[in-house]
Structure 1
Amino acid sequence: MSSPIKDFSDLKSLHKTLKKKKEAEKREEEARRRKEREVEREASLFRDSIGDVVPLDASDRVVPQSPKPAPIPNQRIADNKAALHESIFDEFNVDTLLETDADLSYRKNGIAQEVVRRLRRGHWIIQDELDLHGQRRDEARERLVEFLRRCTLKGFRCVRVIHGKGLGSVNQEPVLKKLVHGWLVQREEVIAFVQAKGVDGGSGALLVLLKGK
């Protein structure tokens, strides 16, 4: 709250203050008008430079829309992984299902021996491969199941699975090699497999024949 005016000197001081305030407001108003005139002048120059133009009709304008990413079916992925994990077992005696010829081989019931011979001769081109060498048991099993599923969806017929020779295992026993044999014979999409040739991995790998579409 302003202090009360006591004498003429106070009144004179108030008058000066009000005058200064009014002058300041006048300068601000002049500056604002100059700014408006400058903007209008620039707009006029722009209109003169482009000539007569007709605005485009905005009624037919199409606003591009970026495709939304597909939702990730986390629950279905988890369920599929659980089902795939349970579809093969470690403790599976595969010895009676393997052919004890010069080179280890397997063929599902109903598959002719000629199919195994053609697989061994390289009749089918190797379309993909999975290297499980050095993997832990659970990780190797999951990767193998997922690999077979993916190859089946792509329509691949012949793939290579590298399990290693077990030289780095305890007592240099090929533990993973035997597990892979057991896992493969339990898979519905696997109809045959043979030990790879030396150039393809020899006793450390298998050529696997899958069902066709």
Structure 2
Amino acid sequence: MKRRAPATISDDDARLFREAIGEVRRIDPVPLPPSLPKPLPHPRMFEADEAAVSGELLDMAFDPASMEVGEELSYLRDGYPPHLLRRLKRGQFSVQDELDLHHMNAAAAQASIVAFLAEARQHDLHCVRIVHGKGLRSKAAGPVLKALTDRLLRRRDDIVAFASARPAQGGTGAVIVLLRH
């Protein structure tokens, strides 16, 4: 639909309009009241989180200082170039599938890893992630599923390399695995 141009107002129409409304006096604009300064933001949630930390640290059954230090897994099969492991640690490979072992016992986790890797080879996958968890609820023996995953992957001939995942991919609670083509 086309829009019509507004009709032009003739001098007669303008004169009739002025006569009809009478004398007009201009109203001066009223200045706006001054605005009050906005209050500065107050980080209430941050303060609440910080205040809660000391209580949470007392309730923890593990030493949080030892959570990430020295727990990284890494392995490179003999005969492969070291830059392959560096690239894996930097997250330069695209993860094609994932297995999550949370809430499994050692026997179920071992069977799941074996089946998962067989299926990955069958589908010609080259990079997968296995989430074993950090073992925070493990007793004095340490993280059971993490140790099991480490031992099992080192013994397999079809594993080229593995390394603990980047923090965004699970950190020391997961490994990224490179499979042989």
Question: Which TM class, normalised by the smaller chain length?
Answer: 0.5 to 0.7
Post-superposition Cα deviations, 1:169-194, rounded to whole Å, max 9, x if no partner, equal 22482111111100001111111000
Match of 1:197 among 151, 166, 172: 166
Which residue of the partner structure matches residue 145 of structure 1? 114
Tell me what 1:210 maps to.
179
Q: Check if 1:183 corresponds to 2:152.
A: yes
Tell me, yes or no, if the aligned pair for 2:76 and 2:160 is still in contact at 8 Å. yes
Matches within 5 A, 1:41-190: 103-171=72-140, 173-190=142-159
Q: CA deviation at 1:120?
A: 1.6
Distance (whole Å) between structure 2 residues aligned to residue 107 and residue 143 of structure 1:
23
Alpha carbons 2:102, 2:131 under 8 Å: kept: yes
SS of residue matched to 2:102: coil
In structure 2, distance between residues paired with 1:112 and 1:133: 32
Q: What SS class does the counterpart of residue 110 from structure 1 fall into? A: coil
Contact 2:132/2:149 (8 A) holds in 1? yes
8 A Cα contact 1:124 1:157, kept in partner: no
Q: In 2, distance between residues paired with 1:102 and 1:139?
A: 23
State the secondary structure of the residue aligned to 1:109.
coil
* SS across alignment from 1:141: helix
- Per-residue deviation at 1:134? 2.1
Shift of 1:102: 8.8
Residue in 2 that maps onto 1:95: none
Q: Specify every segment of 5 or more residues in structure 2 that has no aligned partner in the other structure, as ranges.
A: 1-69
2:76 & 2:99 partners in 1: Cα distance?
Answer: 20
Distance 1:196 1:170 in 2: 23
Residues 80-104 of structure 1: per-residue CA shift (max 9 Å, x gap): xxxxxxxxxxxxxxxxxxxxx8943
Asked which structure has the greater RCO (Cα within 8 Å, sep 6+), the reply is 2
TM, length-normalised to structure 1: 0.50
Count of equivalent residues: 112
Distance 2:138 2:73 in 1: 21
Unaligned runs of at least 5 residues, structure 1? 1-100
Give distance in 2, aligned partners of 1:198 and 1:172.
Answer: 24
CA distance in 2, matches of 1:111, 1:157: 15
Contact map agreement 2:164 2:175 (CA 8 A) in 1: yes
Corresponding residue SS for 1:170: coil
CA distance, structure 1, for counterparts of residue 100 and residue 109 of structure 2: 9
C-alpha separation in 1, matches of 2:73 and 2:109: 21
Name the structure where helix makes up a greater proportion of residues: 1
Q: CA RMSD in A?
A: 1.7
| Percent of matched pairs sharing the same residue | 41
